[in-house]
Amino acid sequence: HEDRTPPLGVTCALGFDSFVAMVQTYKSAESACYFCNDVTAPTDSLSNRSLDQQCTVTRPGLSGMAGSIAVELVAAMTQHPDGFEAARCAIDGSGSSILGAIPSQVRGYLGGYKLVPAEVDAFAQCPCCSKDVVRTFREEGVEFVQRVTANSSILERMSGLEEMKQRLQSADLAAFDMDDMDDFAAL
């Protein structure tokens, strides 16, 4: 088994009139992955859904814009003294490359012609890149992928997301008191 430097991961995701281009964690330069902002495990988004619900409809120029931003993120890192390990920063400043800031992600909104750079930390309970999920994938490989494909709730349990959601639900129930019932009775 040869120990190689992993390739840099860059993700682009498209909505109808919005996109995100993001740089993945690379060695010591940590960034959030695509799923770090989700509080649920990934599921099948194509079966039993109409075309507009399958995330397949997007404005014509959006993919080119997202791809261009992704290329610029990579270019900025290649011009930084630390390369792909450059610290992520959303605002041009002392940690920038000669091509400017290196945010962990850039969100684009075509409706308002806006680009919003952001620094986004990895989520400890991420169903995709949390330590336990990554460790299990490295140990089990394809078998793990097959198990998760058959039952994505495995990811929520393994990452700690399921426990976090249960604690939040319990806290919500504890905060609900009988005085709140009066508000509902008036309806």
Which is the catalytic residue, given 55, 89, 128, 129?
Answer: 55
Catalytic residue flag (residue 12): no
- Long-range contact set of residues 83-90: C-beta below 8 Å, sequence gap at least 24: 84/8, 84/26, 84/27, 84/29, 85/26, 85/27, 85/28, 85/29, 86/29, 87/29, 88/23, 88/29, 88/31, 88/119, 89/119, 90/117, 90/118, 90/119
Distance CA 97, CA 48 (A): 46
Q: Which tokens in the block code for residue 53? A: 């619900």
Q: Which of 24, 20, 2 is nearest to 85 (CA)?
A: 24
Point out the residues that are catalytic.
Answer: 55
